[in-house]
Amino acid sequence: MNDIFEYWQLLLVPVFFAVGWMAARIDMRQVVHESRALPRSYFTGLNFLLNEQPDKAIDSFLEVAKVDSQTVELHFALGNLFRRRGETERAIRMHQNLLGLPDIEEKHRLQAMVELGQDFLKAGLLDRAEEIFNKLVGTARDADAKRSLLEIYQVGKEWQKAIEIARELPDLASHKEIAEYYCELAAGEIMRSRSDSARAYLDVAMQENRKCVRASMLLGDLLAQEGRTEEAIAVWQGIEQQDPAYLSLVAQRLLDAYLKLSRRDEGIALLSGYLEHYPSLDLLDVVYQLVLEGQGNEAAYRLVRAELQRNPTLLGLEKLMSARLPLASPEVRGDVELAKSIIQGYTRRLSRYRCNNCGFKARQFYWRCPACGGWETNPPRRGEEFDQSL
């Protein structure tokens, strides 16, 4: 019985082979038939792309689009290519042409609207982009529309609208981002001397995120403007409990407040303690200047030398050279100045804040990265404090 079973199995092998060969022939004929139906310009365009000639490839693909208006996916590919290359006018025309097709499928019509909105956004035409995405709200592309609207409102600084959209997108905008929107509103009110509404916005920001350092900073600014210096100091000191890394951003504010109250020594003690526990080059700058003015060159030099021993950095060494220069004898002063100038040549590119998301670097601190749009992605520390040491 086993021999008979194995015999029939062997007979099935050529049968299966023949069926597979026939299926392959049918598939190949279909492929050949479809390839012959494609315009020659399509293959010409692919050849240009493979040879890294994008301009000629675009012209060839446009020829395909003219020949067959139903090549929807090719239209989308071309439009995206135009937008990535910064040719937004051509991308806009391409996607508008798609929307003008009388027999376009609904899913393709919605996709064309999304792409057109992105074209307008890339071109800086925020009003037209907003109009497109508002039409997409409630459709199958609702989530895409709301994400884009949130970006539009952030770029356009329409913070109330951003808050409304963000509350509908909890997976995209966290309480941290919403707190930042309220801080933006509060900052605007402080500039207009509207303290009551500014305080109301800051209260909501703190409800959204109890660790919102920016809200504490702005509240301290508001209190300082009102002459409530003691309260401002208390609020700024509270940042140590939220995130001590941000103390460097309020160091100058604290210094000015203590000087206003004629309590220099208390200010020196507080900021020196912060520097010891939470080392920061920005904090070192403030404490160094404070000690220099209050206690003289020798004390400032000792401060920087001790800090450099704890946290060796090129930026710290540059500060040490600055502190050493007034104390140097005439014979070595020239050498100290030369060393300082050499170090400065390196530290100019190190003294920058850097975004954790995209690596964008800037000399000033940003709450929202100008490159990637991330909130609180720029730690309040100079780049060298992360990846440079002696």
Q: Which residues are annotated as a binding site for Fe cation?
A: 355, 358, 369, 372
Environment class of 239 (CB within 10 Å of its CB; exposed 0-12, middle 13-18, buried 19+): buried
Q: Which residues of 10-20 are buried (b: 16+ CB within 10 A; e: fewer)?
A: eeeeeeeeeee
- Give the HSE-up count for residue 206: Cα atoms under 13 Å, Cβ half-sphere: 16
Angstrom distance (rounded) from CA 236 to CA 35: 70
Q: What b/e sequence results for 255-266 when a residue is b if at least 16 CB atoms lie within 10 Å of its CB, and e otherwise?
A: bebbeeeeeeee
Instruction: Give binding residues as ranges.
Output: 355, 358, 369, 372
What are the structure tokens assigned to 116, written together? 């057109």
Q: Residue with structure tokens 């409304």? A: 164
Residue 160 has a CB neighbour count (10 Å cut-off) of 10
Contact 208, 216 (CB under 8 A): no
Q: Could you give the CA distance from residue 265 to residue 293 in angstroms, rounded to a whole number? A: 12
Using alpha carbons, list the distances in angstroms from residue 334 to 36, 321, 330, 340: 80, 12, 7, 10
Torsion sign across C-alpha atoms 37, 39, 44, 46: negative
Closest among 279, 351, 289, 291 to 315, alpha carbons compared: 351
Q: Do the beta carbons of residue 284 and residue 307 sit within 8 Å? A: yes
**Largest Cα span, the chain:** 111
- Note the helical H segments in 311-356: 314-324, 330-347
